[in-house]
Chains A and B, each alone.
Chain A
Amino acid sequence: MDALIQAFGLVFDPFVLGVIAVSAVFGMFVGAMPGLTATMATALLVPVTFFMPPVPALGAIVTATAMAIFAGDIPAAMLRMPGTPASAAYADESYAMTKKGQLNLNMGVNLVFSVAGGLVGVAVLIAAAPLLAEVAINFSSFEYFWLACLGLTCAVFLTNADAVKGFLSLFIGLLLATVGIDPSAGAPRFTFGEVELMQGVNFVATMIGVFAVSELLRGASTVRDAGHVVVQQVGDMFRGLGAVFRRYWFNFLRGSAIGTVIGALPGAGADIAAWISYAVSKRFSKEPEKFGTGHVEGIVDSTSANNSALGGAWIPALVFGIPGDSITAIVIGVLYMKGMNPGPTVFTENPQLIYAVFLIFILANLIMLPLGWAAIKSARQMLRTPRNILLPMILMFCIVGSFAMTNSLYGVAIMLAMGIFGWFLEEHGVPVAPLILGLVLGEMLEQTFVQNMIKADGNWLAFVDRPIAGALGVATLLIWAVMIARGTGLLGARRAAAA
């Protein structure tokens, strides 16, 4: 109780509230701007939050990402361009609604169900995280090894793309994670005598490269001849929402639940949550034929899901130190920076800081309502920011942001190299999300593997000897079996089609 009162004091402090307000506007801008993602917003916030105390630092990230995931819906509805990958699943549906003249209802649904879904995710985070902490204190390297496997599996399992290319991306990410000092013998690997390479491939610089720089490369070719766009006027967004809620309240609950669970699964984030919940909505709908024609049902499911995934992703991040998505992958780094080392002890060592983060989560979702309304109203102006000014500015922010990650030009070099590489991969239909995941989880996978082998003296049975490790191991192997079965089936189908 004391901690809760302290937490209120920490959050309702003029500086913290100011940071939340500024990052809310920042998040809205980033989310509404196609090409800028919530992950990138987090990456850019890292150097900015570096010298802040933990509460405003985490508050900035929480607020900016919540806003960005919602704001991604705005250009999806108005331009058929998702502002963030999390809005990609229903951008077509949303734009179809707008074409039918339902922009008002469309924007209202996106805003209100984003807020509600976000609150569900936070509620689960608050209720389940401390419980999970008690379980997590018993996690040794065996359990973490299987969690790392499970996290890597989820990425490939849920990636829609070509399986071979998904695996390729994952292997490359894992290989990048081996650069630097190895965890078993302490020997340098793939450093070619370069001192800087001994620190390994910095993953925030990599993410800035893969998500932002590669997007700048794609965008640069058309900057000189970009035309203006015409956007419909927005009227009363909240009319008709009551009817939508009465009719589709179950879709909202289901979407939020799916979002939270997928967010909490290591490796899968808001974008995958939106895809899955949209698919589930269509599969179980009474009127599946209406999907794709500007039907509001699928939007309710998926716009709730992507915002609830944000809160869900914090559960494994806080309790296990395992990223639930690419945003919390960065958050974990910030937690370490602020001395709030993720793990079960974070709840006992600094409960007031964790409660403050929860409070900010709730606060951010609440102020999303008025701020989102304002953002939609001013979207016409925002979407007209000239790209010939915007792109070079973003590039300069990327340079400074990645420099700040390593405090050296090494970060900038990594950003550039990974930007070109990420662009090259996407040109060839290779998804970059598994690469990021491999880079993030690779070190944990290898470290825990080495620890396990030393502890078990080479006895493989020890990997499943402990109860939780056994359960996790069996679950992982089962999922792999299903994947292999489906994979070979898919291969067979493709061969048949080719012949």
Chain B
Amino acid sequence: MASFTRRTLLAASGTALATAGAGLAAPALAQGRYPNRPVQVIVPWGAGGGTDATARIVSSLLERDLGQPFNVVNRTGGSGVVGHSAIATAQPDGYTIGMITVEITMMHWQGLTDLRPTSYTPLALMNSDPPGVTVAQNAPFADIRALAEAIRTRPAGTFRASGTGQGGIWHLALVGWLQAMGLRGDHVRWVPSNGAAPAMQELAAGGVDIVTCSIPEARAMIDANRARALAIMAPARNPMFAQVPTLNETLGINYSTGAWRGIAGPRNMPAEIAGALQAALKRAYDNREFQEFMSSRGFGTVWGDAAQFASFMAEGDRAMGDAMRAAGLARG
């Protein structure tokens, strides 16, 4: 207790000092100006991946805009549970925010965590990538129609697909597509993999027939002439991969889903800080640098402000719950 009082005292005097310092520089903004020290941006996925890259470009733009370091901190593992929980349990003071991903609408249905979209203060939706349908270069399917026909006519379990772990977003994409075709979710057998890259290696080596990860993740193997993208599960084509058709225009199946990424903070963040961040995020989203970076990697950009992001997540959460129950992936 003694240390607590001392800490509070010190912190208070420190704040006073800092405020005094800031006051000299900018009298009008002195009181409670945010941010006045470095901000942590927690990323639940590893350095070098798509989420990490997106978070880093956003952070660098926020840093330039708001004049304080925005440090990306990778808290990986546990299928995303570790990082998502670090964001949710941080002090809601605006100095710890993070990039949350589609898994927040899935993990609690699997019984991995109690966290759900409502455990956060949503700030902005920044990106969404649709799943693709990728086959090996030498696969005997000319296009998505031929593949769909083969899947439908052959017995269940003939084909094998991969892209992520059991119950991951790309697995659900496959299940959703199969169900939209009027088949059972396990008509194509799912081979769990440790991410999209090993799944693409399996595809090239002839270990699996289909990979349903996003096209940017499949890109290296496609460029190396080891794989072909047959379709994307999106409402419209991706301008970066304009030759890849959608399911709707080829099969007449109106199924689309996606792995989205957005910025959020712990629940109960002060409204003025959330507002400041949301405004800065909007400026970052509209920045040409952000748009150019995202399109160079083939990542889709989607904007949603705090309210839109919240309702987007609530809707996604419900849809994922239905899909996972139907596929037998929900637990508890």
Contact = CB atoms under 8 A, between A and B. Distances in A.
Contact of A450 (B78, B189, B192): B192
Nearest to B219: A349
B300 interface: no
B79 A447 contact: no
B321 interface: no
A367 to B, nearest CB: 29
Contacts of A341: 48, 197
Contacts of B207: 140-142, 451, 455
A486 to B, nearest CB: 34
Contacts of B82: 195-196, 198-199
Interface residues of A, number: 40
Contacts of B190: 454
Given A141-B202, A345-B221, A199 B46 contact: no
Nearest to B79: A181
A183 interface: yes
A341 B194 CA distance: 13
A337 B82 CA distance: 18
B75 A140 contact: no
B206 A140 contact: yes
A382 to B, nearest CB: 34
A337 B47 contact: yes
A50 B46 CA distance: 12
B75 A138 contact: no
B46 A348 contact: no
Query: Could you say which of A142, A181, A200, A457 has the most chain B C-beta atoms within 10 Å of its C-beta?
Result: A181
Contacts of B157: 457
Interface string B174-217: 00000000000000011111100100011011111000000000
Contact of B48 (A141, A143, A337, A454): A337
A407 B75 contact: yes
Nearest to A54: B48
B275 interface: no
Contact of B205 (A140, A180, A186): A140
B204 A195 contact: no
Contact of B81 (A138, A195, A339): A195
B191 A185 contact: no
Contacts of B112: 181, 186, 188, 198
Given A199-B76, A348-B224, A451 B81 contact: no
A200 B82 CA distance: 10
Interface stretch (B146-154, B160-168, B266-274, B304-312): B160-168
A397 interface: no
A489 to B, nearest CB: 39
Contacts of B166: 184-186
Interface string A187-229: 0100000011011100000000000000000000000000000
A451 B191 contact: yes
B197 A139 contact: no
A447 B202 CA distance: 13
A198 B85 CA distance: 11
A454 to B, nearest CB: 5
A106 B197 CA distance: 48
A476 interface: no
B172 interface: no
A292 interface: no
Nearest to A454: B191
Contacts of A188: 78, 112
Given A348-B224, A455-B191, A199 B47 contact: no
A54 to B, nearest CB: 10
A406 interface: yes
B291 interface: no
A190 to B, nearest CB: 12
B226 interface: yes
Nearest to B201: A343
A338 B48 contact: yes
B77 interface: yes
Given A336-B48, A341-B197, A455-B207, A407 B220 contact: no
Interface string B129-163: 00000000000000000000000000001001010
Query: Could you say which of A139, A200, A451 has the most chain B C-beta atoms within 10 Å of its C-beta?
Result: A451
A451 B205 CA distance: 14
Nearest to A348: B224
Contacts of B167: 186
Contacts of B202: 140-141, 451
A454 B220 CA distance: 26
A200 B77 CA distance: 7
Contacts of B85: 195
A407 B205 contact: no
Interface string A37-56: 00000000000001000000
A349 B200 CA distance: 14
B102 interface: no
Contacts of B46: 336-337
B74 interface: yes
Contacts of A406: 75
Contacts of A385: none
B231 interface: no
B113 interface: yes
A181 B78 contact: yes
A140 B47 CA distance: 25
Contact of A339 (B48, B75, B113, B205): B48
B192 A138 contact: no
B259 interface: no
Given A195-B85, A345-B224, A407-B73, A183 B194 contact: yes
A158 B73 CA distance: 40
B119 interface: no
B301 interface: no
A137 B74 CA distance: 30
B60 interface: no
A408 interface: yes
Contact of A137 (B75, B192, B226): B226
Given A184-B166, A337-B47, A447-B194, A139 B205 contact: yes
A360 B77 CA distance: 32
A408 B201 contact: no
A180 B78 contact: yes
Nearest to B190: A454
Given A186-B79, A447-B192, A455-B208, 13 more contacts: A140-B201, A140-B202, A140-B205, A142-B207, A181-B112, A184-B192, A195-B78, A195-B82, A343-B197, A345-B224, A447-B193, A451-B191, A455-B207
Interface of B: 46-48, 73-79, 81-82, 85-86, 110, 112-113, 157, 160, 162, 165-168, 189-194, 197, 201-202, 204-208, 220-221, 224, 226
25 contacts: A139-B205, A140-B207, A141-B207, A180-B77, A181-B79, A183-B165, A185-B166, A186-B112, A186-B165, A186-B168, A195-B81, A196-B82, A198-B81, A199-B76, A337-B47, A343-B201, A345-B201, A345-B221, A349-B220, A447-B193, A451-B193, A454-B160, A454-B189, A455-B207, A455-B208
